[in-house]
Amino acid sequence: MAAAPACLQLNAKPFSSFLSPNPISKHTPKVGRISCSAASPSKRYSITLLPGDGIGPEVISVAKNVLNLAASIDGIEFKYEEVPIGGAALDLTGVPLPDETLLSAKQSDAVLLGAIGGYKWDKNEKHLKPETGLLKLREGLKVFANLRPATVLPQLVDASTLKREVAEGVDLMVVRELTGGIYFGKPRGFGTNENGEEIGFNTEVYAAYEIDRIARVAFETARKRKGRLCSVDKANVLEASMFWRKRIMEIALEYPDVELSHMYVDNAAMQLIRDPKQFDTIVTNNIFGDILSDEASMITGSIGMLPSASLGESGPGLYEPIHGSAPDIAGQDKANPLATVLSAAMLLKYGLGEEKAAKRIEDAVLDTLNRGFRTGDIYSTGTKLVGCKEMGEEVLKSVDSQVPSPV
Ligand SMILES: NC(=O)c1ccc[n+]([C@@H]2O[C@H](COP(=O)([O-])OP(=O)(O)OC[C@H]3O[C@@H](n4cnc5c(N)ncnc54)[C@H](O)[C@@H]3O)[C@@H](O)[C@H]2O)c1
Ligand SMILES: CC(C)[C@H](C(=O)O)[C@@H](O)C(=O)O
Ligand SMILES: [Mg+2]
């Protein structure tokens, strides 16, 4: 199979959907296209589907149906390869990321993931943890730039745990470095210290090239949004952060039009709750980005609303909700599928360059919310409580209502 097209095209046009403008889009892939009559599909893409664990299969099933319908309107068809990752892969094959899964992902046009992890595997050794499978997948796909948009939709202001006047209008983008830092740094492991006491250790390490490339993605992102970039670090204490800040300032010279600020991560965690509207684009390292994006998700009403796109210099991107496998609600039809549905929209937009189909999904989500449907996590008085499946059906109806009527 031909390689998928380059992922990061830094000078691409912004888009106008509610997921907020972003600089990273792709050329329309040259691969996988067939020309044919109007009655049959005009484009085909291959998607590796990774349902994973817990609520993963529930939300992926919804997202797949929505993706299919939204894209079919433009004559797009998908060839799915569904392969195991995480706990599901451990149970089937004994490893959290089988070679076949990584190969399928690498050969696809885009990868859509549900979530991994669960109590059953929590005590596994590191190399046999579901989470290790996900990290290996990100590493294997070289998707270093993780975009996590947090937008407070007007329909969900009352679902936010923050006061209306604080939450209303929040629209920020966390650009998280995804394949470096303490998640991957060496040395790491377990051992004993000089007193013979047991220790566990990890290393936060960043090379200049890793900071420079995520910085450029972030500056480009900010440039196409409101032109403000806040770099979040812990440069008052950590050498790795001091170096991070130095490189960010160096790259900033290429972007005189972007207003750069720096903030310590502890303050940023507080400011996100105090006055989230002060933020436009945030760039930060792997671990701070993980934590701050979960925090930002609650401003929007729920972690069940936040999609993400993970992109590299070339090859397929990885699209996944930012939430986990939610074992506490798994199998109960309670999960909010919208984060995954919106991740599918990001896949269409950034992964395949299919902006019309992506917008159709975003519009369908807004329409479904406008019609009052809510899963439990975003429920408020006066709205209609539905489960994961019914929410999916309502989104499908909203997509369907956008099908142009025959002339
Ligand atoms: N990308 C991933 O696959 C990913 C991300 C985070 C956590 N995890 C894994 O998931 C497992 C559970 O982790 P956790 O509990 O810390 O985080 P989690 O995100 O799974 O759940 C945190 C809380 O949010 C709720 N929640 C999450 N997604 C939801 C949704 N779509 N709709 C409604 N409610 C939702 C859960 O019910 C839970 O109360 C762990 O094994 C963890 O490692 C995986
Ligand atoms: C499951 C875990 C490895 C992952 C991370 O820390 O990146 C998750 O929390 C996320 O945000 O995608
Ligand atoms: Mg996380």
- Is residue 363 annotated as part of the catalytic site, yes or no? no
**Are 256 and 328 part of one and the same domain?**
no
Known active-site residue 158: no
Residues with CB under 5 A from ligand 3 (ion): 290
144 in the same domain as 54 = yes
Q: pLDDT at residue 8 above 60?
A: no
Among this protein's residues, is 109 annotated catalytic? no
Residues 321 and 379 in one domain: yes
Domain ends where: 276, 300, 324? 300
Q: Which ligand is nearest to the CA of 306?
A: 1
Note whether residue 222 is domain-resident: yes
Do 140 and 226 lie in one domain? The reply is no
Final residue belonging to a domain, choices 274, 300, 326: 300
Q: Are residues 53 and 109 in the same domain?
A: yes
- Beta carbon of 327 within 6 Å of any ligand 1 atom: yes
pLDDT tens by residue, 275-308: 999 999 999 999 999 999 999 999 999 999 999 9
Task: Give me the chain's average pLDDT, please.
Answer: 92
Best probe residue, ligand 2, of 53, 116, 135 (max atoms within 8 Å of C-beta): 135
Evaluate: CB of 134 within 6 angstroms of ligand 2.
yes
Q: Are residues 292 and 363 in the same domain?
A: no
Residue 17: per-residue pLDDT? 41
Q: Is it the case that residue 252 has pLDDT exceeding 90?
A: yes
Do 259 and 162 fall into the same domain? yes
Tell how far the Cα of 108 is from the centroid of ligand 2, in angstroms.
22
Pocket test for ligand 2, best of 59, 116, 134 (most atoms within 8 A of CB): 134
Determine if ligand 1 sits within 6 Å of the CB of residue 326: yes
**32-36, 57-61, 185-189: which range is least confident on average?**
32-36
Q: Which domain holds residue 103?
A: 41-150+302-406
Is 131 a domain residue?
A: yes
Q: From the CA of 326, how far away is ligand 1's center (Å)?
A: 4
- When pLDDT is averaged across residues 20-28 and rounded to a whole number, the result is 38
Split at pLDDT 50, 70, 90, the class of 404 is: confident
Q: Which residue of the set 45, 183, 206, 379 is catalytic? A: 183
* pLDDT 10s digits, 334-370: 999 999 999 999 999 999 999 999 999 999 999 999 9
Catalytic position from the list 294, 333, 389, 397: 294
The domain boundary residue, chosen from 267, 300, 333:
300
pLDDT value of residue 42? 83
Q: Encode pLDDT of 138-169 as tens digits.
A: 999 999 999 999 999 999 999 999 999 999 99
Q: What number is the average pLDDT over the span 245-254?
A: 99
Note whether residue 33 is domain-resident.
no
CA of residue 49 to ligand 1 center, whole Å: 19
| Catalytic-role residue among 26, 106, 224, 234 | 234
266 is catalytic: yes
Contact 305 CB / ligand 1 (< 6 Å): no
Check if 322 has its Cβ closer than 6 Å to any atom of ligand 2.
yes
Same domain, 108 and 178: no
- Residue 405 banded pLDDT, cuts 50, 70, 90: confident
- pLDDT, position 40: 58
Model confidence band, residue 27 (pLDDT cutoffs 50, 70, 90): very low
- The alpha carbon of 42 and the centre of ligand 1 are apart by a number of angstroms equal to 37
Above pLDDT 70, what percent of the chain? 90
Residues 255 and 313 in one domain: no
Q: Is residue 90 part of a domain?
A: yes
Decide if 91 is catalytic: no
Distance 332 CA to ligand 2 centre (A): 23
pTM comes to: 0.92
Which pLDDT belongs to residue 221?
A: 98
Q: Residue 36: its pLDDT value, please?
A: 35
- How does residue 398 score in pLDDT terms, banded at 50, 70 and 90? very high
Across the range 47-54, mean pLDDT stands at 98
290 lines ligand 1 (CB under 6 A): no
Q: Please report, for the domain that includes residue 182, its CATH number.
A: 3.40.718.10
The rounded Å distance from CA 51 to ligand 1 centre is: 14
User: Looking at the structure, do residues 130 and 221 belong to the same domain, yes or no?
Assistant: no
Please tell me the total count of domains within the chain: 2
Residue 29 has pLDDT above 50, yes or no: no
ipTM above 0.90, yes or no: yes
Percent of the chain topping pLDDT 90: 88
| Ligand 1 site, residue 377, Cβ cutoff 6 A | yes
Catalytic residue among 91, 99, 122, 266: 266
Ligand 1 binding pocket includes 160 (Cβ within 6 Å): no
Residue 36 token pair? 């044919």
pLDDT, tens digit, 9 for 90 and up, residues 307-342: 999 999 999 999 999 999 999 999 999 999 999 999
Question: Residue 19 — pLDDT band, cuts 50, 70, 90?
Answer: very low
343 with 388, same domain: the answer is yes
